A and B are shown apart, each in its own frame.
Chain A
Amino acid sequence: MLLTDLLKTAFRGISTHKSRMVLTILGIVIGITSIMAIMSVGKSAEQLILGEIQKLGSNNVFILPGKEPKGPTDAAGSLINDSIKQKDIDDLSKSSNVPGATNIIPYAFGSVASSFESNIYEGMVIGSTEYSQKNFDLKIEEGRYYDQYDVDSKSSVAVIGTEVKKELFGNDDSIGKRIKVNNRPFQVIGVLKKEGAGSFINFNQAVLAPYTSIQQDVLGIKYFQRVTVETKSIEEIPGVIKDIETLLRNNHDISDTEEDDFYIQTQENIANSVKSVTGILTVLLSSVAAISLIVGGVGIMNIMFVSVTERTREIGLRKSLGATNKNILTQFLYEALMLTLSGGIIGVIFGFLLSWGLSWAAQKFADIDFPLVFSIQGLILGVVVSAGIGIVFGIFPAHQASKKSPVEALRDEQ
């Protein structure tokens, strides 16, 4: 029997009960759609986050207090650790200690209420040095950023984000006005340009000031939550990390590296951990969607069994005309395959449309520059998996059909 005949015969078989078949493949469509969308969105999210990490700068090394978190739930632990002190910053800043470093930028931050007259805004206050502007690539809308003098002289000056400005001043001018940050007076010297959402830190909602005037007086802490070390080049990074480790262990009296009360990140290892997290999430969510595929496959098997029973007489007739067991087996297997494959292809298309819609919505409504990534793996997986389901769940009904004796089948009353 020719392949084209087999395909035609199988197609005839499934097109007899159109609405039934549409309902039957729904499970497969939903499953493949979900997997496609999850994989595409997962890839997009990964790209988005990796893009943000790129912005951290490949020359930067980050020192964080506490033990390196081993999993997503571990992260909170590092925020309450107070191991990095002013002395560490001073020592790090000496070029003889860390010759590969160009700038040491410490950060102390916290969520604090700022007010102007009767307007109150609760947001992030970030204390750092003048280098933080370049390090975060912050653009000034009006006024200026604080400078080295402000840092050294503990000036009570602040640069505010656009949302802070809007909440506190509305459309009025803010430069030169005095606001209160945690009840301490600060003079507004600059306003940041509006930034898109989706960054790690939303500078639109932040108040930035020299750490010298923020750390102890406003936040009431004597430690830093984060230190960024700018290096001369990527090649310097391994040496810089070694120097930092040696210095901090010396300062903190640590002899066993297991006892480290700080850890060091680079753009590269942040990116790697993000990749592993999104990878795990994608696998996890996909396995949930895979359950729908199994349910869909069982549905196909069920309807194929019904179909075989209904068409007992047709099977008998075909056999009496010379169809072999294999002819009948392939006919029903192809029917199942056609069902699941068409479900798979529809699912791939729907999945693409869905991820396209999600990325569009993210840009439109959340102002996140969510990239649209079409997952080729998802496409291949969708087609292969749906075909696999067709074979796995189609083989038993097809086998049952092929084993029908022509006499039994012809005797069957309709």
Chain B
Amino acid sequence: MDLIKTIGLEKIYRNDDVETRALDGIDLDIKEGEFVAIMGPSGSGKSTLMQVLGCLDRPTGGKYFFEGKELDTYTDNELAKIRNEKIGFVFQAFNLLPRLSVLENVAMPLMYRGTPEKQRKEKALEMINMVGLSDRVDYHTSRLSGGQKQRVAIARALVNEPKIIFADEPTGNLDSKSGGVVLDFLQKLNNEGHTIVVVTHELYVAQSAKRILHIVDGKLDSDKLVEKRRVIAEEGFLK
């Protein structure tokens, strides 16, 4: 069964009678365990696609099935629950809360899930350990470097053991070394069976995925498997 399936997915913004077709009939499916890169120039609709797939936004047309169920019928609260339990996000701007500690940032999805404090802490510490920031647990995230911040974000995305991780330009704000570390993480997670969708406009990022979707003007332009996949752990990350 497909984890994600869309049929004729549309997202149309209307602004003073000007119609913008951000998504213009997209059919795609993503199976569990895939590593998909969504590519396209800016304004192509790739971010909109990620937002709709990530249940942050609702499509204006077409159908979207998540785990076989159509999302159209879901209430806002049900969507929040799906985002909380089934989806992890990694953003270009990290989006950590600067006044909270690393631990509190990572544990936040667990807080909204209602997990008791003790288990929350255990789980969050496990994730922080995994991204190699055990010595920064109590740091305010504002004191971390960009690469460290993105690793905290990855730990946070994983803490609820989601079905799928959406990463929107995860290396966009990082230098090549930190970016390499982040991509390496995503590849390792994929190897462990996590489904990952990366949105990027950079080919060298997309080539670390297994499959590349090209979006142009809100339409799916191409859908190819990566022939020469870059494995970051072997060759390092070079722009």
Across the interface, do B80 and A313 meet the contact criterion of CB distance under 8 Å? no
Residue interface mask B18-35, A partner, CB < 8 A = 1 = 000000000000000000
Docked-complex contact B109 and A407, CB < 8 angstroms: no
Interchain CB contact under 8 A, A320 and B89: yes
In the complex, what residue of chain A is closest to B113 when comparing beta carbons?
Answer: A322
Q: How far is the CA of A394 from the CA of B111 in the complex (A)?
A: 23
Cβ B57 vs Cβ A323 within 8 A = no
User: How far is A352 from B2 in the complex, measured between Cα atoms in Å?
Assistant: 68
Whether A324 pairs with B56 at a CB distance below 8 angstroms is no
With A1-B114, A407-B56 already in contact, the answer to whether A319 and B80 are too (CB < 8 A) is yes
How far does the Cβ of B144 sit from chain A's closest Cβ, in whole Å?
Answer: 16
B35-56 Cβ-contact flags toward A at 8 Å (1 or 0): 0000000000000000100101
The reply to whether the CB of A327 lies closer than 8 angstroms to some CB of chain B is yes
Which residues 266-324 of A have a CB within 8 angstroms of B? 313-314, 316-324
In the assembled complex, the CB of A313 is this many whole angstroms from the nearest CB of chain B, namely 7
> A16-B99, A323-B80, A410-B95 known; A318 and B112 CB under 8 Å?
yes
Q: Which of A12, A313, A327, A410 contacts B112 (CB 8 A)?
A: A327
Partner of B83, one of A5, A16, A319, A405: A319
The residue of chain B having its C-beta at the shortest distance from the C-beta of A326 within the complex is B77
Q: Is A80 an interface residue (CB 8 A)?
A: no
User: Does A265 reach chain B (CB closer than 8 Å)?
Assistant: no
At the interface, yes or no: A201 with Cβ under 8 Å from chain B? no
CA–CA, A327 to B113, complex, Å?
11
Q: Digitize B90-130: 1 where CB-to-A-CB distance is under 8 Å, 0 elsewhere.
A: 01000101011000000011011110110000000000000
C-alpha spacing A12/B108, complex, angstroms: 14
Q: How far is the CB of A242 from chain B (nearest CB, A)?
A: 75
| CB < 8 Å neighbour of A321 from B84, B99, B100, B116 | B84
Q: Which residues of B contact A347 (CB under 8 A)?
A: none
Could you tell me if A321 and B109 are in contact, using CB atoms closer than 8 angstroms?
Answer: yes
Q: Contacts of A76 on B, CB cut-off 8 Å?
A: none
Q: Once the chains are docked, how many angstroms separate the CA of A9 from the CA of B107?
A: 13
Is A324 touching B91 in the complex (CB atoms < 8 A)? no
Min CB distance A323 to B, Å, is 5
Q: Across the interface, do A314 and B97 meet the contact criterion of CB distance under 8 Å?
A: yes
With an 8 A cutoff between CB atoms, is A371 at the interface?
A: no
Contact-residue bracket for chain B: 20 to 34
Known: A12-B99, A317-B95. A322 touches B114 (CB 8 A): no
Residue A344 lies at the interface, judged by CB distance under 8 Å to chain B: no
A135 located at the interface, meaning its Cβ lies under 8 Å from any Cβ of chain B in the complex:
no
**B156 at the binding interface (Cβ < 8 Å):** yes
Residue of B nearest to A319 (CB): B80
What are the residues of chain B within 8 A of A319 when measuring CB–CB?
56, 80, 83
Contact, CB under 8 Å: A324 / B57? no
B56 and A410 contact, CB distance less than 8 A? yes
Which residues of A are found within 8 Å of B97, using beta-carbon distances? 314, 317
**B80 contact from A2, A16, A324, A407, Cβ within 8 A:** A324
- Contact, CB under 8 Å: B156 / A321: yes
B85 sits at the interface (CB 8 A):
yes
Residues in B with CB closer than 8 Å to A410 are 56, 91, 95
- A325-B83 in contact (CB<8A): no
Tell me whether A12 and B100 are in contact in the complex, defined as CB-CB below 8 angstroms, given that A319-B83, A321-B156 are known contacts: yes
Of chain A, the residue at the smallest CB distance from B51 is A407
CA distance A319 to B83 in the complex (A): 8
Which residues of chain B come closer than 8 Å to A317, judged between CB atoms? 95, 97
Closest to A314 in B: B97
A137–B57 alpha-carbon span in the complex (Å): 85
Who on chain B is nearest to A406 by CB? B56
Interface centre among B80, B95, B97, B108 (most CB of A within 10 A): B80
Task: Provide the A371-414 mask, 1 if CB < 8 A to any CB of B, else 0.
Answer: 00000000000000000000000000000000001110010000
Closest to B94 in A: A317
Taking the complex as formed, is B76 at the interface, i.e. its CB lies under 8 A from any CB of chain A?
Answer: yes
Q: Tell whether B81 is near chain A: CB-to-CB under 8 Å.
A: yes
* B142 to A: closest C-beta gap in Å: 12
Query: If the complex has contacts A317-B97, A319-B80, A322-B85, are A405 and B111 also in contact, measured as CB distance less than 8 A?
Result: no
Q: How far is the CA of A321 from the CA of B104 in the complex (A)?
A: 13
Given contacts A317-B95, A321-B84, A5 and B56 within 8 Å (CB-CB): no
B99 and A322 form a contact (CB under 8 A) = no
Assess the B84–A322 pair: CB atoms within 8 A.
Answer: yes
**Contact, CB under 8 Å: A1 / B112:** yes
Contact status B51-A318, CB under 8 Å: no
Closest B residue to A322 by CB, please name it. Answer: B84
Q: Which residues of B contact A9 (CB under 8 A)?
A: 111
Contacts of A313 in B (CB 8 A): 95
- Docked-complex contact A320 and B111, CB < 8 angstroms: no
Alpha-carbon separation in the docked complex, A53 to B211 (Å): 95
Verify B99–A405 contact, CB threshold 8 A: no
Contact A322 B83 (CB under 8 A): yes
Contact of B111 among A5, A316, A406 (CB under 8 A): A5
Given A325-B76, A327-B112 in contact, is the A320-B83 Cβ separation under 8 Å?
A: yes
Report A's interface with B, CB cutoff 8 A: 1-2, 4-5, 9, 12, 16, 313-314, 316-327, 405-407, 410
Question: Could you give 17 example pairs across A and B, Cβ below 8 Å?
Answer: A2-B111, A2-B114, A4-B117, A16-B99, A313-B95, A317-B95, A319-B56, A319-B80, A320-B83, A320-B89, A320-B95, A321-B83, A322-B83, A322-B85, A323-B112, A324-B112, A325-B80
Besides A316-B95, A322-B84, 11 other A-B contacts (C-beta < 8 A): A2-B114, A318-B112, A320-B54, A321-B109, A322-B109, A322-B160, A323-B80, A324-B76, A325-B77, A326-B77, A410-B91
**Which B positions have Cβ atoms within 8 angstroms of A?**
51, 54, 56-57, 76-77, 80-81, 83-85, 89, 91, 95, 97, 99-100, 108-109, 111-114, 116-117, 156, 160
> Nearest 10 CB-CB pairs, A to B?
A322-B84, A322-B112, A324-B80, A407-B57, A406-B56, A317-B95, A321-B109, A407-B56, A324-B77, A407-B51
